[in-house]
Structure formats: C-alpha cells, structure tokens
Amino acid sequence: MMNYALLQQLITECAQYEQANGQQADMPQFARWLANKYDPMENVNIASTAVEGESTEVVIGRIVFFLTRYAKIYAKKALEGSVLSSIDEFVYLAALLHYQKGLSKSELIRYNRHEKPTGMEIIRRLIALGLVAQAPSEMDKRSTVLAITEAGKAAVFPLFDKMAVVSKVIVGDLGTKEQLQLVALLEQLEHFHQGLLGSLKGDWGLSDLK
C-alpha cells in the first residue's frame, strides 16, 4: 500500500507558499522558495563585509552598487578604441540589433531601465554618430522608430567578444552551481523591481517587447 504522506506535505507547503506570496504557485519560484525554506543558510557569516549595526539589506545594497561600479570599469576598458564611450551606448545598440523591426524611443529607454532624460541623451548621441537612424513608424506615422545602421553594426559587432570577457570577469570565481543560484536570485529581484516601477510609472510595462 502506497504512503502519500510526502505528497500531503507537499500540498501543505504549496498552500503556505501561495498564502505567503499572494499568488498561484509558479513552479520555478515555488521550488526556490521550498529550497530556501529547508536550506536557509543560517550559518552564513557576512561579518567580513558588514559594518557594525548594518542590516543584511544594507550590505546587499552596497555590494550591488559596488558591482555595478566594477562592471563599468571593466566595460570602459573593453570600449577603448571604439567610437562608443559607455556601456550604455553598447547595450542600446545591442537591443536595436536584437529587435530588427526597431523600437520607439520610449521602448528602448524602458528596455534598458533608464529614466527618460538619461535615455534620450544616449539616443541623441548615437543618432549624431550615425549609429542609429529614426524613421516614421509603419504602425503610427505620428511616432518614430529607431533602428541600428550599418555603421552601428560595424561598431557593435567587434565588441561582443570583449563584452563576453567582461561578463566572465564580473562572475569571478563562482562555480556553475553558484552562478545558477545567483541568476535565480537576481531574476527574482529583477522581476520585483520591474513590477515596482510598473506600479510607479504606467509606461514601464515591457509586454509589448516580447
């Protein structure tokens, strides 16, 4: 006779997950939640990076901030000799290369999680350099669509290998399992903040880019 005790326990855990998260169970997120519950890393010591009295949240925020600084330093090195002057210009061109049909200015800015003034300045520079062109939208003649030019492709293609090296440097000495764990946590944070910005600014939804 089969014993369904484990299945009953799993159903109970699923109910607790839904109650805690206020949503229907998403299998990947539920699996991470369950793994964290039974392997909470209670013995992790952050004393080496924490200032006395600091919360774990503050330590995370500072480390994430520092990591973005490191990434910009490495990217700046990779861009030496290129017409591009910042990692932001690279990712804007890479996005337009991916979306062959083009993107509106607001879509491109949202895709890169920039505020409008910052994004518009990057777009203006790329247009001035002849790396991006704008044309009337086929869907709405009142709006314009941005597309990468041949000069833009010539500028961005040689940089992909260098940026791949930058990515490896950023990952550091993390093993494959650690990388996958980090991706899962970062995607969870990205999903949270995308939703948070969406609630603050109605035009932040990215469903139209899928």
Residue numbers in the chain where pLDDT is lower than 70: 1-3, 22-25, 39-52, 141, 200-210
**What are the structural domains, with CATH classification, of the chain?**
63-167 (1.10.10.10)
**pLDDT of res. 200:** 65
- pLDDT score at 150: 97
- At residue 43, the pLDDT reads 47
- Structure confidence at residue 45 (pLDDT): 56
pLDDT digits (tens, 9 = 90+) for 76-120: 999 999 999 999 999 999 999 999 888 999 999 999 999 999 999
Task: Say what the pTM is.
Answer: 0.71
Of the candidates 178, 173, 204, the one whose C-alpha atom is nearest the C-alpha of residue 190 is: 204
14: which 2 tokens? 């699923």
Residue 27: per-residue pLDDT? 76
What pLDDT is attached to residue 55?
Answer: 86
User: What is the residue-averaged pLDDT of the chain?
Assistant: 84
What local confidence, expressed as pLDDT, does residue 206 receive? 46
pLDDT of residue 19: 78
pLDDT of residue 29: 76
Q: H/E/C letters for each residue in the chain?
A: CCCCHHHHHHHHHHHHHHHHHCCCCCHHHHHHHHHHHHCCCCCCCCCCCCCCCCCHHHHHHHHHHHHHHHHHHHHHHHCCCCCCCCHHHHHHHHHHHHCCCCECHHHHHHHCCCCHHHHHHHHHHHHHCCCEEEEECCCCCCCEEEEECHHHHHHHHHHHHHHHHHHHHHHCCCCHHHHHHHHHHHHHHHHHHHHHHHHHCHHHCCHHHC
The pLDDT assigned to 24 comes to 61
CB burial readout 94-125, b (16+ within 10 A) else e: bbbeebeebbbbebbbbbeebeeeebeebbeb
In this prediction, residue 2 carries a pLDDT of: 60
Return the structure tokens found at 13.
């855990």
Phi, psi torsion values for 95, nearest 5 degrees: -65, -45
